[in-house]
Structure 1
Amino acid sequence: MLKFEDLKGANVELTFGPNQHRIESRHVLVVIKHNDRWLLTKHRIRGIEFPGGKAEAGEMIEQAAIRETLEETGVTIDNVHSFAEYVVFTDPPFCKAVFTGNVVHVERDYTLLETEGAVWMTDAELAACTELSFHMKDRGMGELRKWVEAND
């Protein structure tokens, strides 16, 4: 388990494997590397980050990961599986299920809502990026990328 404070001052715990906190995950984060590039999106307010969001009422968390990735990037993914949980201790605390998967299709003309679409970056480009959201700057994101590279 990795414990740290995010850039907004909240305590965070990152665990790999099943839910150790018993907080239901209704948020998703999707970390995928495809053809040596990370799949990211540019949120209009926060900046560049991994796709993610909240599950809708009645939606399974895996379905939310697929839907959020498509809505934010225009990229269709499959074979999604959760590999980590990212618990943020705000009031109330919440848990993000962290997924990875396979890229199936990239839609170039997808209608986007909250983002400016897919941003594909190499490790070097990601390390040099000055437009990262605050989410992408915490200790957990590096650990998530390491896990994906080692296990996919």
Structure 2
Amino acid sequence: MTHIATIFKDLQGAHVELTFGENRFGMEARHVLVVLKHEGKWLVTRHSVRGIEFPGGKAEEGETLTEAAIRETIEETGVTITDLVKFAEYVVMSNVTFCKAVFTGKVFSIEENPQLFETEGAFWMTDEQLSNCDELSFHMKDAGMVEIRKWVDSYVS
């Protein structure tokens, strides 16, 4: 059953619809977001322009969403993840409308000195640190992230 958790405007004014369950948007997701909590801390990274955010990006040609989620997480944090679960999708309706699949999973390994792309690597933040962080990307400050974090918290509990 599809459940729309949140319909809102993001901080850039785009209309966003977040749903948990099957895709109801009629649009194929080609972007991924990985929201992972490990040993009580959230896996985040610092993007050079946007700030602190969950790892993610766009699937490459011929790549599945799961493969993209694994690759993006490794490239941005040096963390290899397994047991991925796609639990939500959201559509951002702006100049370029797109659909993003949201995943969680488990940590398989953490590379000490990874080769990184576009980010400063893995940071592990508690709930309090994440909630009080003044360097969050605008993506991390919207109503959808509150619902996504709640879902992951209930999943890992």
Tell me the TM-score normalised to structure 1 length.
0.98
Query: Is the counterpart of residue 29 in structure 1 residue 45 in structure 2?
Result: no
1:58 alignment partner, one of 51, 55, 62: 62
Q: Which moved more, 1:89-98 or 1:71-80?
A: 89-98
Give the match for residue 47 of structure 1: 51
Q: Which moved more, 1:22-31 or 1:83-92?
A: 83-92
Query: Is the counterpart of residue 82 in structure 1 residue 86 in structure 2?
Result: yes
**Which consecutive unaligned segments of at least 5 residues does structure 1 have?**
none
The CA deviation at 1:123 is: 0.3
Percent identity, aligned pairs only?
Answer: 62
Give the match for residue 149 of structure 1: 153
State the SS of the aligned residue for 2:107. Answer: strand
Query: Is the counterpart of residue 91 in structure 1 residue 92 in structure 2?
Result: no
**Can you list the C-alpha shifts for 1:101-144, whole angstroms capped at 9, x where unaligned?**
00010001001120000010000111111100000000000110
Name the aligned partner's letter for residue 11 of structure 2.
L
Q: Using the alignment, how far apart are the partners of 2:111 and 2:7 within structure 1?
A: 37
Give the match for residue 14 of structure 1: 18
Name the aligned partner's letter for residue 155 of structure 2.
N
Calculate the aligned-residue CA RMSD, in Å.
0.7
Tell me the TM-score normalised to structure 2 length.
0.95
Query: Is the counterpart of residue 128 in structure 1 residue 132 in structure 2?
Result: yes
**Which consecutive unaligned segments of at least 5 residues does structure 2 have?**
none
1:110 alignment partner, one of 109, 114, 120: 114
Instruction: Provide runs of 4+ in structure 1 moved above 6 Å.
Output: none
The CA deviation at 1:30 is: 0.3
Q: Using the alignment, how far apart are the partners of 1:22 and 1:113 within structure 2?
A: 31
